Amino acid sequence: MLIHLRTLGCRLNEAELETWAQAFQKAGHQITRELAQANLVIINSCAVTQDAARKSRQLIRRIHRDNPTAKLVVSGCYATLNEDEAAQLMGVDLVISNKDKAQLVEQTLSQLNFDSMPAMSTEPAEHSLFSRGRQRAFIKVQDGCRYRCTFCIVTVARGEEQSRTIEAVIDEINTLHQQGINEVILTGVHLGGYGSDIDCDLSTLIRTILDKTEIPRLRLGSLEPWELPEDFFSLFKNPRLMPHLHLPLQSGSDSVLRRMARRCKTEEFAAIVAKAREEIPHFNVTTDVIVGFPSESEEEWQQSFEFIKQVGFGDMHIFSYSHREGTKAATLANPVNNEVKKQRSKQLHELAAQMKQDFIQTQLGESFSVLWESQRESSEEGKPSYFGYTPNYLRVANMGVDSGDLENTICSATLDVAIEGAVLVR
């Protein structure tokens, strides 16, 4: 059976897709990048905003329209929060909620009558990441969240915290490395809470990975800033732990942060960023910001804007506040009108672009090891162009320089000039 995997949303969804791909392959089936060839399609949906839920519905409809004969299974946050609605969408054969994700492959094969083993079933020779055109792997180490930020619907959809054992994570990373993966990214709904349910913690997990695997590059997914232990930044002395963190700020106004039920004030956030930059060379901090949270006044917006400008970030994900039924924020008074949200979002996008360019400028002339992940169209001279990432997560490009086959290799490059969303190297 040929299986096509699609996802919307976060890196955790990507990690779950990879887990399912591995399990389907072990059951003797194949992963295909071509939707038209698939007998079965798995969609991991998103509902972090109303727009994400709408895109999930659109994707489901489009997949069915483009391949109406394939069986269609939908999971993820949209399917969990809107199970009846998802089940009634045309073409959907099975809905599996987040609480049953661990059994998705088993339930799919049995409930859709795919449970018989193929006649020529063997261990997969090609890892599913490569069949999907990926050279990095997302590793799900934890699910669920104990906190209840007032804007977040994901904690409702994902449930209580559950951590994987260190042994299971180590085994997965070693397997991926043996199959050619050179970088893994640890992900979770509440990554900083890893181990709270199994008497462990994230620092222990990181140290054990660095000790018991030989994976060349280890990255961390989004981390809440209030959960970093005192010795956390000492972990980055190991060059295999990449010097980049995504620390969600959400607002640069303390009064807005209180309404969001965030647990880190702006002063504390700024101190964390300053410490990271002081202790770790070339450290890059990226963030999330929500624009137009209920009752966000002009004064609060200006406080937020100035704080973001003062701290400076290598990049930002900017979201206009989205009303989500089932969250506390949905009950708050004085919503910000859409025009004001658009204006503030535009202003912040302009600042984000400038801050990103400023950070890149500080890195030009420096040499970094680059994991070259993909090959794109050839240059005018007929030589392939490669794209990849530095340790501090700058996207770089080798535009036709004669360097042999770079894909999925790690080699040193000097950052030369910034152009069209990437940094050219020499």
User: Percent of the chain having pLDDT more than 90?
Assistant: 64
C-alpha dihedral (201, 162, 322, 296), degrees to nearest 10: -40
Residue 407 in contact with residue 424, Cβ under 8 Å? no
pLDDT score, position 383: 65
Residue 56 in contact with residue 78, Cβ under 8 Å? yes
Ranges of H-type helices in 335-405: 338-363
> Each residue of 13-64: pLDDT tens digit?
888 988 898 889 888 899 998 999 898 999 999 988 888 889 999 999 999 9
Distances 282 to 146, 183, 277, 380 between C-alpha atoms, Å = 33, 19, 7, 33
pLDDT score, position 385: 80
Strand, coil or helix: 75: strand
Tell whether the model's pLDDT for residue 12 goes beyond 60.
yes
Question: 422 or 406: which carries more pLDDT confidence?
Answer: 406
Mean pLDDT of the chain: 88
Tell whether the model's pLDDT for residue 161 goes beyond 80.
yes
> Each residue of 212-243: pLDDT tens digit?
999 999 999 999 988 888 889 999 999 999 99
Tokens of 385: 């162009």
Strand, coil or helix: 35: helix
Please state, in angstroms and rounded to a whole number, the distance separating the CA atoms of residues 321 and 181.
Answer: 37
Q: What pLDDT band is residue 120 in, cutting at 50, 70 and 90?
A: very low
Average pLDDT over residues 375-389: 69
Tell whether the model's pLDDT for residue 118 goes beyond 50.
no
Strand, coil or helix: 7: strand
Please state, in angstroms and rounded to a whole number, the distance separating the CA atoms of residues 182 and 197.
Answer: 30
Q: Rounded to an integer, what is the distance from CA 193 to the centroid of its chain?
A: 17
Distances 85 to 46, 53, 54, 78, 90 between C-alpha atoms, Å = 14, 11, 12, 9, 10
pLDDT score, position 26: 85
Tell whether the model's pLDDT for residue 359 goes beyond 50.
yes
Q: What pLDDT band is residue 425 in, cutting at 50, 70 and 90?
A: confident
Average pLDDT over residues 403-420: 85
Q: What pLDDT band is residue 401 in, cutting at 50, 70 and 90?
A: low
Q: What pLDDT band is residue 402 in, cutting at 50, 70 and 90?
A: low
**Where do the domains of the chain lie, and which CATH numbers do they carry?**
2-111 (3.40.50.12160), 130-363 (3.80.30.20), 367-425 (no CATH)
pLDDT score, position 400: 66
pLDDT score, position 421: 63
Average pLDDT over residues 331-343: 94
pLDDT score, position 134: 67
Tell whether the model's pLDDT for residue 367 goes beyond 60.
yes
Q: What pLDDT band is residue 315 in, cutting at 50, 70 and 90?
A: very high
Distances 24 to 19, 237, 399 between C-alpha atoms, Å = 9, 38, 37
Tell whether the model's pLDDT for residue 177 goes beyond 80.
yes
pLDDT score, position 229: 82
pLDDT score, position 420: 67
Tell whether the model's pLDDT for residue 69 goes beyond 80.
yes
Tell whether the model's pLDDT for residue 378 goes beyond 70.
no
Q: Is the pTM of this model over 0.85?
A: no
